[in-house]
């Protein structure tokens, strides 16, 4: 009798976990999509700098500041094993690095 009770209890627990997971499924998927799409939206900034060979209107101090903060987020993601944050901030780090390199090459102002 005790075994039967344990089996029923385990089954109920599985159902509760399943319902909870399905409730967060959409938001989890949208968050992963945003983590990939949002850094991609920054790519045109880097493309403009390299295509036009000018960094006019680019504030180097802002992009370096973004890069420092992104490095902190990457550190956080590694320490806490947060895959989504690591993907998101890792992509941003790469794209921001391209913007910073182009800005330095083509004379962006610091202010």
For residue 13, pLDDT beyond 60? no
Residue 24 has a CB neighbour count (10 Å cut-off) of: 10
Identify whether 110 is part of a domain: no
Identify whether 111 is part of a domain: no
pTM for this model (two decimals): 0.71
- Write out the residue range of the structural domain in which residue 55 sits: 2-105
pLDDT of the residue at 31: 87
pLDDT per position as a tens digit, 23-62: 788 888 898 898 889 889 999 999 999 999 999 889 999 9
Q: How confident is the model at residue 1 (pLDDT cuts 50, 70, 90)?
A: low
Degrees to nearest 5, angle at CA 26 with 42 and 91: 25
Instruction: Report residue 7 CA to chain centroid gap.
Output: 41
pLDDT per position as a tens digit, 56-80: 889 999 999 999 999 999 999 999 9
42: domain CATH number is 1.20.1280.290
Q: Which of 71, 54, 62 is nearest to 108 (CA)?
A: 54
Question: How many whole angstroms separate alpha carbon 9 and alpha carbon 66?
Answer: 50
Identify whether 10 is part of a domain: yes
């Amino acid at each position: 009798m005790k075994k039967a009770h344990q089996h029923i209890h385990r089954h109920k627990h599985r159902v509760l976990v399943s319902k909870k997971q399905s409730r967060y499924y959409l938001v989890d998927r949208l968050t992963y999509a945003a983590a990939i799409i949002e850094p991609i939206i920054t790519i045109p900034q880097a493309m403009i700098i390299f295509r036009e060979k000018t960094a006019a209107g680019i504030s180097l101090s802002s992009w370096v500041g973004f890069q420092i903060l992104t490095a902190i987020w990457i550190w956080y993601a590694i320490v806490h094993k947060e895959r989504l944050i690591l993907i998101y901030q890792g992509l941003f780090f790469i794209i921001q690095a391209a913007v910073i390199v182009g800005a330095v090459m083509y004379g962006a102002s610091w202010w």
